Amino acid sequence: MANESSTIVQKLWNYCNVLRDDGVSYNDYVEQLTYLLFLKMVEEQNQLPPPLGKRSTIPTEYSWEALRSLDGDALEIQYRHTLENLGKEKGLLGVIFRKSQNKIQDPAKLKRLVELINSETWIGLDIDIKGEIYEGLLQKNAEDVKGGAGQYFTPRALIQAIVEVMQPQLGQRICDPACGTGGFFLVAYNFIKNNYKLDKDQRHFLNNKTFKGADVADGVVRLCAMNLYLHGIAGDDSPVEAKDSLMADSGDRFELILTNPPFGKKSSITVFNKNGKADKV
């Protein structure tokens, strides 16, 4: 199944080379891919029969179906309005589409990308598409761009080992102050589901009140929110936010911390000395 995942990543990545000639950077391409992939997967989940399906909270006028049938200027306008309006939604949708903008100005190339994504049944693939595809694309980005996103990804085997050692308990609140794309949340979620027989109230707590996380990078928080949404984790309020966890004590407390924080040479805090010179501390 890993080969299938890498083939799909390569297919999507190849199209990036076409868009790069139009001035679309690797980062911008991956960002646009996440928006479109998310809309497509939500549409697929919405069409699955219960209990496999998940009712979409995306307004019909901004759904994948409303987008994929258009082309030309109508497609570009619809896509731009979709990003703008979903960014105003509350909860996870608002986090996912926060500050989103269309970076693919050529409607013909945008249409080709929509067709490329529409040609696959993403949810039906027998791989963890919600993690492997996103992470595969961003790892490729890290290979091609200095200072890329590779630092956000803890190997899945290491996450699995840490969770098995810590053995998260039903009813615990779990925090990852450097959550990346949410790998610890997903593995801990599955660990609890597989080790406990949950009643309705316990399932509600697991899905809506168990996890809390933060990351300094907007794009990574977006990926984490997508992952959680597509796994049915979190309710109306987003459990993840874009912030520096070291800046201040939020006052919130947890029974368990699961994290693999990045260790960089400098922080993201900029200070100015009396001469007006900026520096990182």
122 bridge partner residues: none
Question: What does the alpha-carbon distance between residue 208 and residue 74 come to, in Å, rounded to a whole number?
Answer: 38
Helix (H) or strand (E) holding 279: strand 278-280
Q: Per DSSP, what are the bridge partners of residue 240?
A: 213
pLDDT digits (tens, 9 = 90+) for 77-110: 999 999 999 999 887 788 888 888 998 888 998 9
Q: Is the CB of residue 62 less than 8 Å from the CB of residue 82?
A: yes
Least confident of 85-89, 155-159, 197-201, 202-206: 155-159
Q: How far is CA 112 from the centre of its chain?
A: 23
Residue 215 — φ and ψ, nearest 5°?
A: -155, 150
The structure's pTM equals: 0.72
DSSP state of 214: E
CA dist., res. 267 & res. 248, Å (int): 14
134: pLDDT confidence band, cut at 50, 70 and 90? low
Ordered structural domains, the chain, with CATH: 2-149 (1.20.1260.30), 154-270 (3.40.50.150)
Structure tokens at 88: 């105003």
Tokens of 70: 């258009």
- Between 247 and 202, the more confident residue is 202
* Residue 146 pLDDT class (50, 70, 90 cuts): very low
Query: Are 221 and 241 a contacting pair, CB within 8 Å?
Result: yes
Which residues does 84 contact at the CB level (< 8 Å), separation at least 6?
A: 100
The DSSP secondary structure of 102-168, one letter per residue, reads -----HHHHHHHHHHHHTS-TTTSSS-HHHHHHHHHHHHHHHHSTT-GGGG---HHHHHHHHHHH--
The residue with tokens 């693999």 is 260
Which band of pLDDT confidence, cut at 50, 70 and 90, is reported for residue 147?
very low
Tokens found for residue 85: 């309006």
In the chain, what percentage of residues exceed pLDDT 70? 77
The position carrying tokens 């874009």 is 242
Q: What is the pLDDT of residue 20?
A: 74
Give the whole-angstrom CA distance, residue 29 versus residue 169.
39
